[in-house]
Structure 1
Amino acid sequence: MNRVTLKLALAGLAGVLGAVPFAVGAAYQRSQTRKDDRELPGLGELVTVDRHAIHTCRLGHDNEGPTVLFESGLSSPLEMWTWIQGTVAVSAPTLSHDRAGVGWSESGPLPRTAERITAELELLLESLAEPGPFVLVGHSYGGMLLRHFAQRHPDKVAGVVLVDAAHPEQLTRSARQRLGLPLMRNSVRSSLFWSRFGLGRRTRKRPESQLDGLPEPARATTLARMMGTRNWVTTEAEVDAWLSHVIDETKDTRFSSGVPLYVLTAGETAQADPVHLQLQQELAELTDTGVHQVLPGVSHLGILCDQTAARHTAAVVLEVVDAARAGRAPKLVDPEPTTDQH
């Protein structure tokens, strides 16, 4: 064997050997995803909507309406609402769901525009025989999506709660969020790439520190869903659609006059970015009954996952439910000391 042939052979062998860890990791990821789906199924049920299985959780449906409809943020399974939905369901009917491709739901068609996501939500509500009206509760990116739903169905909106919700102008007006966008996109792409080879399952550090306030089995189930490749494929698609479509689709939307609106802001987010605080106040001005409250010492995810913070968020939702039933504006809910440290 001459020197050139030997070099080519060694290079080929190195390539094969270098690919082995990735092949093993990919096999491990597929095996663990099947195991999670078997041992940690979603906390709700799968409903077929337009040939896709959508994960939904309905609680408290023997109670008086309006129904509380929860919409999650980017990459967040419905189990993130466990503390809040369980508390609200004692007094009102509730419905949470995983958008197509998120959590335990099957993937949906691209692009993931607000128009498409709203249409899928409409089909889900029709399939579940949920005519409304609804108290819309949206966290983060979910708040923007519910604005689009409310614009299309003002007659179905009994009230709104925006939980540290995204604002369509946050990237143009907040230098902090604009500068953080490339880091966020790189994080999503990195999570997607390494999820294909099971790396996140071996470390689990990033999502675990944000979710450990959830009760079991919601915490384990949420973590399992966030280890799945499908969840990150969808997150990347939703981020792309957010920048290319959803901002324009939602920037001019408002809520109908008289609709009870409560904007709840995470204190840590507001403290880190004063522009975010200003934008949150503007969200409260989307109707003439809006109120705004900052929950001190609470993080963007802690407002859902920390038990004490989530108890306050649930109290806010119930206040808007009561306001909708009574036909009045919502009142501020006194906060209790929180324990969120994230």
Structure 2
Amino acid sequence: MRVLVVLTLILAGAWGAAAVAAEVAGRRHAPRGDLVDIGGRRLRLVCEGPRSAAPTVWLEAGAFSGAADFAAIQMALTGKGVRSCAYDRAGLGYSDPGPRPRDGAAIVGDLEQLIGASGEPGPFVFVGHSMAGLYLRLFAARNPQQVAGLVLLDAATPEMVEMPEAQRFLGRFLTMARIGAVAGTLGLTKPLYLVGDPIGLPPAGKTEKRHGFVSGRQSRNALAEVESWRSAARQAAASGPPSDRWPVALLTAGPRSPERSAWHDARRAAAPAHALFDNIDAADHRTMLGLTHAGRVAAAIVHVRDLAGQSPFTTSVSGRPPHSVHEPS
């Protein structure tokens, strides 16, 4: 009984400390960027780096986050003199919620409005991480004039979502998202603020990422996106394959394994024949966005930006001849 009481007190203390830390950090560190009105709702937009005649880089995050995930990559791009923009989708981070369902059509519609309201001139090099691959496939099909190039970071394709392994993964992920939404709503995720971030972000991004960890509102809106992933995949598939008019780079993470090879092969099969490939062996799905690997990712983005408007695309992101989609990396 005493042990149970002690454990309860420890957990209560951790919850209280995390709640206080989150509150203090929220007051001390205002979020980066601006809130941009898209017609009665506002989305948080973070644009950094100098303006130039070259295409701006537009970054689309994966699940459960937004601009915070790209803080390290934006810092690396700014260091290279490249302008970039990242944002929080509706209901995530610091953005206002949007109408349901949160499928690909809804998310792409918001993105189209945000780009129009941002004042940033296109076309853009679009970068998508994880499930953002579905949204960028649909956006590019609907707005080809806005696309100068694509960089896909361990990104999903609608073809991958149909794989049995992916269906099982989505089922597990949906269960976790539902649990997270309940826990976040009840305030049980507060101790996660003390854990840090799993990506390895600079201080500003780390604070914003922690803010999302403990946000019940974000967990509920992230669940709404996860619930619509299959719909988003069908919408992306119906839009057709990626155009061969733009340079495309696929960056993946982690050492080869049977499961990972299946994912990588599916990504390659869905890519244009001229797509460029690079695998960051020392990274994983999340850390590829962090400070450790931001320079390598930024170099690939700059490479694609430099290729924009050129054809055929004859060099890889590593400077070697491009891999065929049928060859191992």
Q: Distance in 2 between matches of 1:283 and 1:41?
A: 40
Equivalent residue runs for 1:170-189 within 5 Å: 170-175=160-165, 177-189=166-178
What's the CA shift string for 1:118-168, capped at 9, x where partnerless? 111111111112231010100011111011110011111110001000121
Q: Which of 53, 60, 63 is 1:64 aligned to? A: 53
**Matched residue, 1:95:** 85
Give secondary structure in 2 for the equivalent of 1:199.
Answer: coil
| Residue type at the aligned position of 1:246 | A
- Deviation of 1:210 (Å): 1.4
Partner of 1:149: 139
C-alpha distance after superposition, 1:198-221 (max 9, x if no partner):
22112447x73613x111121122
Superposed, 1:325-336 pairs within 5 Å as: 326=310, 329=313, 331-334=315-318
Q: SS of the residue aligned with 2:158? A: coil
RMSD: 2.7
Does 2:236 correspond to 1:246?
A: no
Alignment check: 8 A CA contact 1:114 1:148 kept? yes
Contact 1:284 / 1:292 at 8 angstroms: preserved in 2? no
The letter for the 1-side match of 2:271 is: A
3-state SS, counterpart of residue 217 of structure 1? helix
Displacement, 1:174?
4.2
Counterpart mapping for 1:252-271 below 5 A: 252=238, 253-268=240-255
Conservation of the 8 A alpha-carbon contact between 1:46 and 1:53: yes
- In the alignment, what sits opposite 2:286? 301
Any idea what SS the aligned residue of 2:228 has? helix
Do structure 1's residue 127 and structure 2's residue 117 form an aligned pair? Answer: yes
Matched-pair contact (CA < 8 Å) for 1:29–1:195:
no
Q: Per residue, is there more helix in 1 or in 2? A: 1
Aligned: 1:319 with 2:319: no
**1:258–1:289 CA contact under 8 A, matched in 2:** no
Q: How far, CA to CA, are the matches of 1:170 and 1:328 in structure 2?
A: 27
CA–CA distance in 2 between the matches of 1:35 and 1:109?
31
Which of these residues, 157, 166, 184, is aligned with residue 167 of structure 1?
Answer: 157
Q: Which ranges in structure 2 are unaligned for 5 or more consecutive residues? A: 1-14, 320-329
d(CA) in 2 for partners of 1:330, 1:320: 11
| Paired AA for residue 304 in structure 2 | V
Q: Distance in 1 between matches of 2:314 and 2:90?
A: 32
Q: Decide which structure has the larger Cα Rg and report it.
A: 1
2:196 aligned partner, one-letter code: E
8 Å Cα contact 1:284/1:291 also seen in 2 = no
State how far apart, in whole Å, the 1-side matches of 2:311 and 2:246 are: 8
